[in-house]
Structure 1
Amino acid sequence: MDRRTFLNASLAGATAALLPRFALATPQGEYFELTAAKGSQRLFGEDGELSELWLYNGRLPGPEIRVKRGERVKVRFINKLDTPTSVHWHGIRIDNAMDGVAGLTQAAVAPGDSFDYDFVVPDTGTYWYHAHNMSWNQVPRGLAGPLIVEDDTPAFDPDCDITMMLSDWRLDEDGRLDTNSFGARHDFSHAGRLGNWLTVNGNSLPDIRLKKGHWHRLRLINSSASRILDLAPARFGARLIGLDGQLFDAQRSIDDLVQLSPAQRMDLVMKPEASGTIPFEMMTGQAFTFANFIVEDANPSSADLKLPPKNALPEPDMENALQLPLDMAGGAMGGMRALMRTRSEDDLRQMMSKGLFWTLNDTAGMPERPMFTAERGQTVVLDSLNETGFPHAMHIHGHHFRVLERSGKQLEHQDWRDTFTSDPQERVKIAFVADNPGKWLIHCHMLGHAASGMMTWFEVT
């Protein structure tokens, strides 16, 4: 599929990419039903064949769920697939029993069964939900959707608050999802399952309509299995206001690239001053357009940009912190050399025969005992070192953390994140307050990496 084929097929089926929204809080406190089932959709424009997908409520992505800070979310999840699954509410600091990690916080929901998720959302921001049982197989088939938590008084008009789920797909020559390559050992041991196709809210090269002279909030969510997206907000007149659901004190002008790794989110603001078409691009050495902003004339707006208030997250106490390493090793391209310090060649062969290619702190796969136990309210500092040949997007469940340093250099903006990217041979230091009791996962969000060894957990007592 060359660029010309992509453009011809996609332009023929270009559509607006706005998602329908569902408010869950009801006076009666009823459950919103979220059903996982098989479905189909064209991913490669109108010329592509139908792809066999797994969908929430028959939609790609799943329905956008919008609630307000402090509201109670009640979702009755129904599994109509022929395999067990569960739902993880990514980035939300909720009760541990509702985190949705099959095998750790709940049993996987069997085919034909249901599970009631019931929790209160404490923070505003851009979040998402996705399958968390055999995620490497279920998320890139379509089991993901946005979860948006608004402030009591939204700062943007509803039609100027736009969610964009960015998804990377691996399609065959007919434009159909390649299902035969799921679980390929090459993907697990290299960069992960990388696709050859990008969609926005399930659409190829969609038109995203904006209003001239109005402030817009763009909520970008990378729901890809492994693809890191490099974006250049300045090229389409946008400024950065938040990452992973947590807003800044003020907007930032970014002249360089901004990296959006799998599971990460990025909140942007833009105010187009002229009508016309603005390309939305991925930077891959050269700009590659995968959506267009169509700026339309509108009644002028005199409203100034007003950012919602930030969330009140607990600040780390660095003087009394629990200091711990988080060493990543393994994988192809020389990454196995670090494992030779503690393993023989026979040990490595046995490990790889089980489909394990990666380690965290020299442990391959989910350990029986936690990586560490912290008392509630204790500050934890993780000093991570990536000794592999590939980048990793490390996600910590149930908490947000500040990114303090990269390769020994203290960062100017020590932003709050729930997922950080670590490049090969890079050292990243993060800190968070372990204030949410329960058992919490730490794993690489290149989902095949997690399945093949890069996964551990900790406990807050």
Structure 2
Amino acid sequence: MNISKRDFLRMSAAGLAYMPNALSAQTDLLSVTARVADVQLLPDDYGKTQIWGFDGIAPGPEIRVTQGARVKRRIINDLPDPTSTHWHGIRIENAMDGVAGLTQDPVRPGQSFDYDFVAPDAGTYWYHAHNRSFEQVARGLQGALIVEEPEPIDVDREEVLILDDWRIDPETAQIADTFGAMHDLSHAGRIGNYITTNGTYNLARKVKRHERLRLRLINASNARIFQLGLDGLEGWVVAMDGMPLATPRPVEGPFLLSSAQRVDLIVDVTAEMGSAGHLVQLGGDETFSQVAFEVTSDGARAPRGTPRPLPPNAHAMPDLANARDITLLMEGGAMGGMRGAMMGGRMSSMRDMMQAGNFWAFNGAVGGMDGPPLAELSLGETVRLKITNDTSFPHAMHLHGMHFYEIERDGSLGAFRDTTLLDRGEVRAIAFVADNPGKWLLHCHMLSHAASGMMAWVKVA
């Protein structure tokens, strides 16, 4: 296959020609090494690409355990930079959360850190670097963490699908060394020019007609918001960010998956024999096949209809009538009206902020882990956090350690998740029970935004 450099830049996806093997679900301490590796990320006409990957692959090895089991991993740092590992979406002991500078010291090159925690909730989660994450995740340091339900789900099989994008220099086939670029920090974040699923270009899977699949979708990109749809597949959303919906929701059109978000779909293959169903990506005036499901044989005689809900994960319900109200105002960025903010304990102009690599503010201050917490919370109290996006860009706000409910406009509780997407100018309230003691990060998961001011933390006593 010959691809011109112009065609390369227009391509929607590319990647590795293999799937990482799952690590066993045993509870012994297993080692995973974060290291530099050369892989055939691009088509064969190109040379190999240097990545940073867990065990030298991207995505890293899939970790799969049953609900209630322990996850024990020794992360060995064989990288040139310090690192740490965050277990995204897991309601975890604070010391195991993996946030360098807040919950642990960064793991220096040549050293290791032992993570040991219980996976309390069934669902789709992931793990990724959390030191200079805007660079380390973009280089490939991420993988899937799957927590299975105690009893099997009524599907024929499942597919874990990690969506990612890479910014590649087509002249060298290397990841572009533009980490911390001013445009990324101040605009929409680091958007790649090369989109993959499980590190693979135009990923395809062979299926049977009317086969029922569980698709676990993970957006591991730095900043890309995927607009997705189904073709030749009849589907239902059964979980978001690992947490089951009370009632499966039919997929009746495009749906968004922001950076760090996950969605579980149950789909029936309705495409005819010899054709294919698709998970499609919609971008502008074009539609791409993100994953093709090639129908090679007959399965069940007919679709099975609406699936049963997944078993719920136990959690405390917020008491909105007695909630503590907190506000979070997001400001700054390109095309914003912010003239300055508190930085390093003093009021600074936007120009001074930019020179320090900061472009965003929370509640009038450049966010970070060194300053005071956004709030000090009592164990067990309900928090209602009103977030206002007074910027020109969307932001995916992620809370560590606890899930939250998105509050609908009528005051009812909506989706239960750990990352919420706010469009520019949007206002949204979320509610959660502060039931996990420790210091918990709250930040934009457009990772360049977090690195340039969109970061706060809360303390639960």
Please report the TM-score for the alignment, with normalisation by the length of structure 1. Answer: 0.91
Partner of 1:415: 415
How far apart are 1:2 and its partner, in Å?
Answer: 5.1
Partner of 1:214: 211
Partner of 1:24: 25
Q: Deviations over 1:2-46 (max 9, x none)?
A: 568867996xx995x7552222324xxx21111100012233222
How far apart are 1:339 and its partner, in Å?
Answer: 5.5
Counterpart contact for 2:92–2:118, Cα < 8 Å:
yes
Q: Deviations over 1:155-197 (max 9, x none)?
A: 156x711100000111122472333211111110111001111
Partner of 1:349: 351
| SS of the residue 1:182 aligns to | coil
Amino acid at match of 1:424: R
Unaligned ranges ≥5, structure 2 = none
Q: What is the alpha-carbon distance in structure 2 between the residues aligned to residue 413 and residue 232 of structure 1?
A: 25
2:102 to 101, 104, 121: 104
Partner of 1:52: 50
| SS of the residue 1:297 aligns to | strand
How far apart are 1:227 and its partner, in Å?
Answer: 0.5
Counterpart contact for 2:11–2:193, Cα < 8 Å:
no
2:262 to 261, 265, 282: 265
Q: What is the alpha-carbon distance in structure 1 between the residues aligned to residue 157 and residue 7 of structure 2?
A: 30
Q: What is the alpha-carbon distance in structure 1 between the residues aligned to residue 352 and residue 79 of structure 2?
A: 33
Counterpart contact for 2:168–2:194, Cα < 8 Å:
yes
| SS of the residue 2:92 aligns to | coil
Partner of 2:397: 394
Q: Deviations over 1:376-398 (max 9, x none)?
A: 11001110000111000000000
User: Is residue 2:186 matched to residue 1:189?
Assistant: yes
Q: What is the alpha-carbon distance in structure 2 between the residues aligned to residue 4 and residue 51 of structure 1?
A: 15
User: Is residue 2:294 matched to residue 1:294?
Assistant: yes
2:388 to 380, 385, 388: 385
User: Is residue 2:372 matched to residue 1:369?
Assistant: yes
Question: After the TM superposition, which residues 71-220 of structure 1 pair with which residues of structure 2 at under 5 Å, given as runs?
Answer: 71-156=69-154, 160-174=157-171, 176-220=173-217
Instruction: Classify 1:352/1:296 alpha carbon distance in 2 versus 1 (closer, same or farther; 3 Å).
Output: same
| SS of the residue 1:233 aligns to | strand
| SS of the residue 1:165 aligns to | strand
Q: What is the alpha-carbon distance in structure 1 between the residues aligned to residue 77 and residue 83 of structure 2?
A: 7
Instruction: Classify 1:234/1:245 alpha carbon distance in 2 versus 1 (closer, same or farther; 3 Å).
Output: farther
| SS of the residue 1:415 aligns to | strand
Q: What is the alpha-carbon distance in structure 2 between the residues aligned to residue 460 and residue 257 of structure 1?
A: 38
How far apart are 1:412 and its partner, in Å?
Answer: 7.2
Q: What is the alpha-carbon distance in structure 2 between the residues aligned to residue 212 and residue 265 of structure 1?
A: 26
How far apart are 1:154 and its partner, in Å?
Answer: 2.1
Q: What is the alpha-carbon distance in structure 2 between the residues aligned to residue 328 and residue 419 of structure 1?
A: 16
Q: Deviations over 1:401-427 (max 9, x none)?
A: 00003xxx2377701010001111110
Please report the TM-score for the alignment, with normalisation by the length of structure 2. Answer: 0.91
Counterpart contact for 1:162–1:217, Cα < 8 Å:
yes
Partner of 1:321: 323
Counterpart contact for 1:324–1:382, Cα < 8 Å:
yes
Percent of residue pairs bearing the same amino acid type: 44
Q: What is the alpha-carbon distance in structure 1 between the residues aligned to residue 373 and residue 135 of structure 2?
A: 25
Counterpart contact for 1:372–1:459, Cα < 8 Å:
yes
Counterpart contact for 1:233–1:240, Cα < 8 Å:
no
Partner of 1:403: 406
Amino acid at match of 2:178: S
Q: What is the alpha-carbon distance in structure 2 between the residues aligned to residue 372 and residue 7 of structure 1?
A: 45
Amino acid at match of 2:112: S
Counterpart contact for 1:330–1:358, Cα < 8 Å:
yes
Instruction: Classify 1:6/1:337 alpha carbon distance in 2 versus 1 (closer, same or farther; 3 Å).
Output: closer
Partner of 1:278: 277
| SS of the residue 1:20 aligns to | coil
Instruction: Classify 1:413/1:404 alpha carbon distance in 2 versus 1 (closer, same or farther; 3 Å).
Output: closer
Aligned length in residues: 449
Instruction: Classify 1:320/1:121 alpha carbon distance in 2 versus 1 (closer, same or farther; 3 Å).
Output: same
How far apart are 1:251 and its partner, in Å?
Answer: 1.8
| SS of the residue 1:58 aligns to | coil
Q: What is the alpha-carbon distance in structure 2 between the residues aligned to residue 364 and residue 357 of structure 1?
A: 8
Q: What is the alpha-carbon distance in structure 2 between the residues aligned to residue 300 and residue 421 of structure 1?
A: 38
Q: What is the alpha-carbon distance in structure 2 between the residues aligned to residue 211 and residue 19 of structure 1?
A: 24
Over the residues paired in the alignment, what is the CA RMSD in angstroms?
2.5
Instruction: Classify 1:33/1:391 alpha carbon distance in 2 versus 1 (closer, same or farther; 3 Å).
Output: same
Counterpart contact for 1:154–1:308, Cα < 8 Å:
no
How far apart are 1:232 and its partner, in Å?
Answer: 1.8
Range moving further from structure 2, 34-43 or 63-72: 34-43
Q: What is the alpha-carbon distance in structure 2 between the residues aligned to residue 9 and residue 18 of structure 1?
A: 16
| SS of the residue 1:458 aligns to | strand
Counterpart contact for 2:340–2:353, Cα < 8 Å:
no
Q: What is the alpha-carbon distance in structure 2 between the residues aligned to residue 267 and residue 283 of structure 1?
A: 19
How far apart are 1:136 and its partner, in Å?
Answer: 0.4
Amino acid at match of 1:388: T
